[in-house]
C-alpha cells in the first residue's frame, strides 16, 4: 500500500517536471518579457540593470567604509565593513524579493490565470528565474569590484551556489504557501511586509554576531537566515568554505516547505481561479 502511494507521488512529481519542460518556451518568454518591462519607456533601458547595482555597491562600500569610516570590529581593513555589508545585503535582497513577490504572484497574474490555460506552477518558476537574473547581474558586478580592490576570496566563492540553492528553495516554498493563502486572505500580503522588516533587523546583516550578548546570540540561532548570512560573510571576508553540515536542518526545512507549498497550491488551485 505504502509502495503504491509512493509510486503515485513520484509519478505526480515527474509529471509536473515534464509539464514544466513542455512549457519551457512560455517560461523563457515570460522571463524575458518581465525583464524588459522593468525598464520599458526609460531612455537607458536595460542599462539600468547595471547602473542600479553599481550605485548600491558604491554606497555600501565606498560611502560606509571611506566617507562614514565604518569599521568591522576585529579588522583593520578599511574596506571590511562595506564588503561585509554587501555580502549580507545582496543575499538578503535575493531572498526577500523571492518571498515578497511570491506571495502576490497569483494576484498579479489573475487575468492570465482566468483566461489562459497553462500550468500554474510555471508562475513561481518564472519568478525564480527572473530574480536569479537580477541577482547574477548584481553579484557579478560585486565580484568585479572585489577583483579590482584585491579582495576576491578565491575559489571558495563557489560556496555561494549551494547556499543560494537551499536559501531560495526555502523562500520559494514559503512564498508559494503564502501566495496561495494570500488569494483567500489578503491581509497576508500586508503582514509579510511587516514581518520582513523585523526579520531583516533580526538577521546579522549590518552587525556581526560577535558583538551581541549571549542571550541574543541564542535567539538568533532560531532565525533560519542567520546561518546563511554568516556563511556568505565568511566566504567573502575569510575565504572560508561554508560548512554544509551546519545547514542540515535548513536543507530538510527547504524540502518540507517546497513540498508543502506546492501541495497546498495544487490542492487549492481550482478554487484560486474562482477567488480571483
3-class SS string, 125-184: HHHHHHHHHHHHHHHHHHHHHHHHHCCCCCHHHHHHHHHHHHHHHHHHHHHHHHHHHHHH
Residue 276 has pLDDT above 70, yes or no: no
Q: In this predicted model, what pLDDT tens digit does every residue of 33-73 receive, in sequence order?
A: 777 776 655 555 556 667 777 777 777 777 766 655 556 66
> Cell digits for 125?
518558476
pLDDT digits (tens, 9 = 90+) for 209-248: 888 888 888 888 889 999 999 999 999 988 888 888 888 8
Q: Check pLDDT > 50 for residue 6.
A: no
Residues whose CB falls within 8 Å of the CB of residue 4, separated by 6 or more in sequence, listed in order: none
Q: What is the pLDDT of residues 179-207, one digit of tens each?
A: 888 888 888 888 888 999 999 999 998 88
The answer to whether 146 and 236 are in contact (CB under 8 A) is: yes
pLDDT of residue 164: 94
Q: Look at residue 57 in the predicted model and tell me its pLDDT.
A: 76
Checking if the pLDDT of 256 tops 60, the result is yes
Report the half-sphere exposure of 99 (CA within 13 A, side-chain side). 24
- Confidence class for position 157, pLDDT limits 50, 70, 90: very high
Is the pLDDT assigned to residue 30 strictly greater than 70?
Answer: yes
pTM: 0.84
Amino acid at each position: 500500500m505504502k509502495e503504491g502511494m509512493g509510486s503515485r507521488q513520484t509519478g505526480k512529481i515527474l509529471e509536473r517536471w515534464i509539464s514544466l519542460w513542455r512549457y519551457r518556451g512560455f517560461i523563457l518568454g515570460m522571463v524575458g518579457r518581465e525583464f524588459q518591462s522593468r525598464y520599458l519607456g526609460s531612455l537607458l533601458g536595460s542599462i539600468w540593470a547595471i547602473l542600479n547595482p553599481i550605485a548600491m555597491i558604491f554606497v555600501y562600500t565606498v560611502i560606509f567604509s571611506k566617507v562614514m569610516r565604518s569599521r568591522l570590529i576585529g579588522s583593520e581593513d578599511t574596506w571590511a565593513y562595506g564588503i561585509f555589508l554587501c555580502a549580507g545585503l545582496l543575499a538578503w535582497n535575493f531572498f526577500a524579493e523571492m518571498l515578497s513577490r511570491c506571495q502576490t504572484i497569483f494576484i498579479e497574474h489573475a487575468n492570465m490565470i482566468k483566461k489562459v490555460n497553462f500550468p500554474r506552477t510555471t508562475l513561481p518558476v518564472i519568478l525564480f528565474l527572473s530574480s536569479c537574473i537580477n541577482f547574477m547581474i548584481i553579484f557579478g558586478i560585486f565580484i568585479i569590484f572585489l577583483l579590482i580592490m584585491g579582495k576576491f576570496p578565491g575559489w571558495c566563492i563557489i560556496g555561494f551556489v549551494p547556499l543560494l540553492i537551499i536559501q531560495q528553495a526555502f523562500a520559494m516554498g514559503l512564498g508559494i504557501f503564502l501566495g496561495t493563502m494570500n488569494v483567500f486572505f489578503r491581509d497576508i500580503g500586508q503582514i509579510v511586509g511587516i514581518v520582513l522588516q523585523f526579520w531583516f533587523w533580526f538577521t546579522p546583516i549590518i552587525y556581526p554576531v560577535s558583538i551581541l550578548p549571549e542571550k541574543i546570540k541564542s535567539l538568533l540561532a532560531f532565525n533560519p537566515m542567520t546561518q546563511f548570512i554568516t556563511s556568505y560573510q565568511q566566504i567573502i571576508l575569510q575565504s572560508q568554505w561554508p560548512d554544509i553540515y551546519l545547514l542540515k536542518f535548513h536543507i530538510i526545512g527547504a524540502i518540507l516547505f517546497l513540498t508543502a507549498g506546492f501541495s497546498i497550491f495544487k490542492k487549492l488551485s481550482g478554487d484560486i481561479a474562482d477567488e480571483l
